[in-house]
Structure 1
Amino acid sequence: MPDVGDLVTARLDVSPADETTAAVLVVTLPDGSTVSPVTTGADSGAVWTAPVAYTMAGVWRLSWTVSGTGASVEHELVSVAPTPGVTTGRSYATTTDLANYLRAAPPVDAAHLLEGASRMLDTMVLAYCRYDVDDAGLPADADVAEAIGRAVCAQVAWWGEVGDSTGAAGVGYGSVSIGSVNLGRSVTSVSGDDSAARQLAPQVLDELRAPHLWNKLVLGAVTGAGW
């Protein structure tokens, strides 16, 4: 699977083909726009290539139209991944913070996990707290910023312990039939919200209750959080 920024050579093999064969490529980007890169033929029209630069994440469509001998239309869908490690949401901790918290190398998807943990704490914890923020809505006090960052790291570490960061492991099923085969297990949960992954890590509260945060970070009553 290519990543954003990759420059590849799209290739089409045509058979039968001869000197009358010609191929044109139209590339449809994930946003619906199109480009038509220059195509080059070789081996008497049997092989056609064109450069394609993947500039955005999503599903791209490569559509070849062949005329002359071997006339046909060929389509290919290509899934392009975002640039690894790049996130666009708010995060209260960096991958360096996480590495220091874990005292070990962080997972390769650490930036994504930190963003998810930050979003989770925003809705489940920080929305019920009072503390000074700067113009960007981030903690203005260094001690509060560090504590919230450590709380986010604690949540990511918790996900690593339970082996789930989305709550998918908490969703059970009753029975499933595939042809003559029946699969079944007892339903332990009807919602991913019931899984351990969707609960606050105990260490989150420890980080936010530190004595040096008194009068800097006022904790509210979060439903179901045990505060």
Structure 2
Amino acid sequence: MPDVGDLVTARLTVSPADETTQAVLVVTLPDGSILTPVVTGADDGTVWTAPVVYTVAGVWRLSWTVSGTGASVEHELVSVAPAPAVTSSRSYATTTDLANYTRAAPPVDAAHLLEGASRMLDARVLQYCRYDVTTDGLPSDADVAEAIGRAVCAQVAWWGEVGDSIGAAGVGYGSVSIGSVNLGRSVTSVSGDDSAARQLAPQVLDELRAPHLWNKLVLGAVTGAGW
């Protein structure tokens, strides 16, 4: 699968072909706009190529129209992935923090996971806590900032242990029919929130209740967290 920014050579083979064969490529972008790259023929009209730069993520359509000998219309759908994102949402920990916390190389989507864990702790824990913050809403005390960062890393590490970060494992099914085949299992949950991935990691509490945080970070009652 190509990524945004990739320059590729679109290629079409025509058979039969001769000196009357001509090919045109029309590229339709995900937003519906059209490109008509320069097409080059070779091998007596058998091979046609054109440069294509994928500038945006989404599904692109490459449509070849061949006239003369070998006349035909060929369509190809290409799914283009976005370029790896530079973290932009608020995160209480960096990928370096995660590597040091787990003592292992972080996954390639570590920045995304840390952002997700930060949002989760904001919603389920930190909004019930009291601590000094900067004008940006980040903890101003170094000890508190480190503790919250370690709590975020603990949540990401927990997701790694359970093999799920979005709660998909918590969604079960009763019975499914595919043709003449019936599949079934007992439904143990009805929501992704029931998955272990959507629960606070046990280590989060330990990080935020460290003795040196006394009077710096006051924990409130977190509903459903058992605190």
Question: So what's the TM-score if we normalise by structure 2?
Answer: 0.90
In the aligned structure 2, how far is the partner of 1:142 from the partner of 1:41? Answer: 64
Gapped regions of structure 2 (runs ≥ 5): none
Counterpart of 1:149 in structure 2 is: 149
State which drifts further: 82-91 or 102-111.
82-91
Distance of aligned partners of 1:67 and 1:108 in 2 relative to their CA distance in 1, 3 Å threshold: same
**Is the aligned partner of 1:56 residue 2:75?**
no
**TM superposition shift of 1:85:** 6.2
In the aligned structure 2, how far is the partner of 1:87 from the partner of 1:14? Answer: 45
Counterpart of 2:93 in structure 1 is: 93
SS at match of 1:186: coil
**TM superposition shift of 1:58:** 2.2
Amino acid at match of 1:37: P
State which drifts further: 18-27 or 36-45.
18-27
Question: Which structure 2 residues correspond to residues 138-217 of structure 1 after superposition, within 5 A?
Answer: 138-217=138-217
Are the equivalent residues in 2 in contact too, given 1:85–1:110 (CA < 8 A)?
Answer: no
**TM superposition shift of 1:170:** 1.4
Amino acid at match of 1:57: A
In the aligned structure 2, how far is the partner of 1:38 from the partner of 1:85? Answer: 31
**TM superposition shift of 1:95:** 1.3
Distance of aligned partners of 1:209 and 1:3 in 2 relative to their CA distance in 1, 3 Å threshold: same
In the aligned structure 1, how far is the partner of 2:212 from the partner of 2:35? Answer: 58
Counterpart of 2:29 in structure 1 is: 29
Amino acid at match of 2:75: H
**Is the aligned partner of 1:102 residue 2:102?**
yes
In the aligned structure 2, how far is the partner of 1:57 from the partner of 1:35? Answer: 16
Are the equivalent residues in 2 in contact too, given 1:26–1:64 (CA < 8 A)?
Answer: yes
In the aligned structure 1, how far is the partner of 2:56 from the partner of 2:220? Answer: 41
**TM superposition shift of 1:107:** 2.0
Are the equivalent residues in 2 in contact too, given 1:85–1:108 (CA < 8 A)?
Answer: no
Amino acid at match of 1:172: G
SS at match of 1:138: coil
Distance of aligned partners of 1:207 and 1:62 in 2 relative to their CA distance in 1, 3 Å threshold: same
**TM superposition shift of 1:88:** 4.0
**TM superposition shift of 1:105:** 1.6
Distance of aligned partners of 1:205 and 1:66 in 2 relative to their CA distance in 1, 3 Å threshold: same
SS at match of 1:148: helix
SS at match of 2:155: helix
Gapped regions of structure 1 (runs ≥ 5): none
In the aligned structure 1, how far is the partner of 2:81 from the partner of 2:65? Answer: 26
1:17-63 Cα shifts (integer Å, max 9, x gaps) = 22222222222233333322211111122211111122232222222
CA RMSD of aligned residues (A): 2.0
**TM superposition shift of 1:5:** 2.4
Question: So what's the TM-score if we normalise by structure 1?
Answer: 0.90
State which drifts further: 80-89 or 52-61.
80-89
In the aligned structure 1, how far is the partner of 2:226 from the partner of 2:58? Answer: 41
**TM superposition shift of 1:7:** 1.4
SS at match of 1:188: coil
Distance of aligned partners of 1:127 and 1:68 in 2 relative to their CA distance in 1, 3 Å threshold: farther
Are the equivalent residues in 2 in contact too, given 1:85–1:109 (CA < 8 A)?
Answer: no
Q: % of aligned pairs identical?
A: 90
